[in-house]
Amino acid sequence: MNYFSKIIGTGSAFPERIMTNHDFENFVETSDEWIRTRTGIQTRRIADHSKGEFTSTLALKAARNAIEMANIPADQIELIIIGTVTPDSLMPTTANLIQAALGATKAFSFDLQSACSGFLYGLSIADQYIRTGMVKTALVIGAETLSTLINWQDRGTCVLFGDGAGAALLTRTTETNHSILGTKLYSDGSKGDILKIPHGGSKYPHYLPEYQHKLHSIHMQGSEVFKLAVRNMIDASLAVLSDHGLTPEDVDYFFFHQANMRILDMCMKTLKVPKEKTWINLDKYGNTSAATLPVCLDEAWRAKVIKPGDLILMATFGGGVTWASGLIRL
C-alpha cells in the first residue's frame, strides 16, 4: 500500500498588539513612507510577555485552530514538529510544551531550527514519516516571537519582523489527488553570515563578556539576503514543479515567504504569477519567519480562495541560509 499525506486542518494565531510604522519613528531614524515603499510592511504584531504571549502560547492557539478544523481528537496525533528560532526555552522543547498542553500523549515531538524555512522543513519531515507508515497523523507548526531577538536600535532590521504562529494537521491517505506531492529542501551554510543570530548557543556562553554585545539579536546583510531570497525561491519553485513534469502555469495558487514586497514582486514577475494567484499579508504582519507560510495557507483556506483539488506551490527562504519549496494537491 502506498501512503501519502493530506492536510486536513490549518490554524493561525497572533499577539494582540499592533505596532505601526509610525511607532518606529519615535525611537529610530525612519519613516512610514520609507518602510512602506522599501518593504511593503505597514503593521506587525508584537507579543506582550506580561500577557503570556510567548512562542508556545501562540503556537498552541494555532494548533488548536487546526485541530478544530480537522475535527480529530488530539490523542490521535503521533508527531509534533515546530519550526522556530525563538523557542520558549532550549529545554524542554516548545514542541513538548505543545504536546503536553494538547494532551497529545501518543505524539513524539521536537523543535526544528531552519529559520523562515522551518514550516516547509517540518512539512517535508512529517510527510516522510507518514509515507513510510511510521506515523498516521502529524501536527506541523511554524511559530516565532522574533520581537524578542530584535535589536530595536537597528533600523535596518527592527522594522521588518513580527510575531505569530501557523499550524497544519496532516493525516495519512492513499489518494494522490489530495496530498503533498513533493518538497525540496536546501541549505548553504557557507552563506550563513548574511542572516544570523550569533549568540544563544555554545560558542558564546552567557558568562563571557562578549555575550553582552547585542549579538543575541538578528544580524542581516539586507541586499545580499534580498538577492539570494529571490533567486533561490524561484529556483526551488521551478525544481519542485519540474520533478512532477509541471510548470508555473499549472499551479492554481502560490504562497511565497513574506519578507519584502519587492522580493515577492520579483518572484511573481519571473514565474509569471498574476497577483490574484498569490496570498499577500506582509503589509499586516511583516516577516513572521517560520509562521509565514502556514498562516498564509490558513488565511487563504478560511477565505475560500483555495479549495480542495487546487494545485498549491509554496516557497521560502530563511537565515543560515536555508530555502525550500513544496507542491500540494489540496
Binding status of residue 323 toward ligand ACO by CB under 6 A: no
Taking the C-alpha atoms of residue 205 and residue 199, their distance in angstroms, rounded to an integer, is 8
Distances (CA, A) of 113 to 11, 83, 244, 325: 21, 6, 28, 17
DSSP-derived secondary structure letter, 287: B
Q: Is the peptide bond before 230 cis (omega within 30 degrees of 0)?
A: no
Is 296 a residue of the active site? no
> Which cell numbers hold the place of 111?
523543535
Among 7, 8, 13, 35, binds ligand ACO (CB under 6 A): 35
Angle at 197 between CA 191 and CA 200, to 5 degrees: 135
- Angle of helix 94-102 relative to helix 55-70, nearest 10 degrees, comes to 50
Is 257 a residue of the active site? yes
Cβ distance to ligand ACO smaller for residue 215 or 246: 215
Is 213 a residue of the active site? no
The distance of closest approach from Cβ of residue 135 to ligand ACO in the complex, given in angstroms and rounded to an integer, is: 28
Please state, as a whole number, how many other Cβ atoms lie within 10 Å of the Cβ of residue 46. 22
> Which cell numbers hold the place of 292?
509565514
Which span sits near ligand ACO by CB under 6 A: 35-43, 47-55, 179-187, 293-301? Answer: 35-43
The distance of closest approach from Cβ of residue 165 to ligand ACO in the complex, given in angstroms and rounded to an integer, is: 15
> Which cell numbers hold the place of 78?
503521533
The distance of closest approach from Cβ of residue 330 to ligand ACO in the complex, given in angstroms and rounded to an integer, is: 25
Which of 158, 232, 257, 260 does the annotation list as catalytic?
257
Which span sits near ligand ACO by CB under 6 A: 92-100, 244-252, 266-274, 314-322? Answer: 314-322
Cβ distance to ligand ACO smaller for residue 32 or 252: 32
- List residues near ligand ACO by CB under 6 A: 30, 34-35, 38-39, 115-116, 155-156, 159, 195, 220, 222-223, 225-226, 229, 259-260, 263, 287, 289, 317-319
